[in-house]
Copies of this chain bind each other. A is one copy, B any other.
């Protein structure tokens, strides 16, 4: 059965495993770097510099996304973005993805196909292809994405920050968290924030640029800014101070803060899911375009905001 002949109310059970796989494969264009795409026991992708960068993330229904809050297309964008961002954070460029989908048999087939479209669209932003995957039955919708990529120079780790380095950020920060706060209260606006939650816009390319500019450490903000900065501080054995005043508080964040009676800086300091990058650079480095200084590295340990401990939830953990 091709997707063209699919009744709009068909479920995965109607389509069947092989029908679903065939309909999905049609949706996955293959880039020049793909020697063998979906349909065999494994895919084959070129890795010109002899090193492959790899990362995996799981997304579970009701925990990482809600099907009543976001479209399948949005969830596909988000699932891909979250993984592509991990390659960005190493200073690399993503080239290929594999996608696993576990879902109940009564899931609308269109949902699965639109999810695939979202993943393909987001991957296309960086020129990456979906080269393989797996579909199976489960009680709860779950998406497993693995991304492969390349780095040109040395991968930028979390552990290279040194006292005296400056801390900088690339990309929006706090928008997705503010959008989530809005959705959690049953609202659908400001639209820009809700969209930021549904479909993050990671600063693709900022990672390789940072690596080329000499970034000493880098991470993508997925657990919350202070939480992820703490990962750099811990891995590097340093202290990091963030200057709250270095962030411009965008108007929609102000508006939501006022409406919800919340400090909008909380979205910025503790929000994740925008997939901004935070990096450290040697003092005196001319920061590349798109990067803004937000703090500095010192001897010691821990993360402070304007020299003091920041109170409040610093991030998100599972279990």
Contacts and interface: CB of A to CB of B under 8 A. Distances in A.
Contacts of A149: 42
B50 A319 contact: no
A27 to B, nearest CB: 17
A93 to B, nearest CB: 12
Contacts of A317: 16-18
Most buried by B among A20, A146, A148: A146
A76 interface: no
A232 to B, nearest CB: 10
A298 to B, nearest CB: 22
A87 interface: yes
Given A13-B319, A41-B219, A317-B16, A54 B138 contact: no
Task: Determine the main DSSP class of A at the interface with B.
Answer: strand
Contact of A47 (B40, B52, B131): B52
Contacts of A318: 17, 135-137
A136 B60 contact: yes
A63 interface: yes
Contacts of A36: 155, 157
A113 interface: no
A32 interface: no
Interface in A53-79: 53-60, 63-64
A64 to B, nearest CB: 7
B56 A133 contact: yes
Interface string A71-107: 0000000000000011101101000101111100100
Interface of A: 12-13, 15-18, 20, 35-36, 39-48, 50-60, 63-64, 85-87, 89-90, 92, 96, 98-102, 105, 131-140, 142, 144, 146-149, 151, 155, 157-159, 218-220, 235, 317-319
List 8 A-B pairs, minimum CB-CB distance, nearest first. A144-B144, A42-B55, A41-B89, A56-B98, A146-B146, A17-B317, A41-B86, A58-B100
Given A41-B55, A139-B139, 17 more contacts: A13-B319, A39-B235, A40-B155, A41-B90, A42-B86, A44-B51, A44-B90, A45-B54, A46-B51, A50-B50, A54-B96, A56-B144, A56-B146, A58-B102, A98-B146, A100-B144, A139-B140
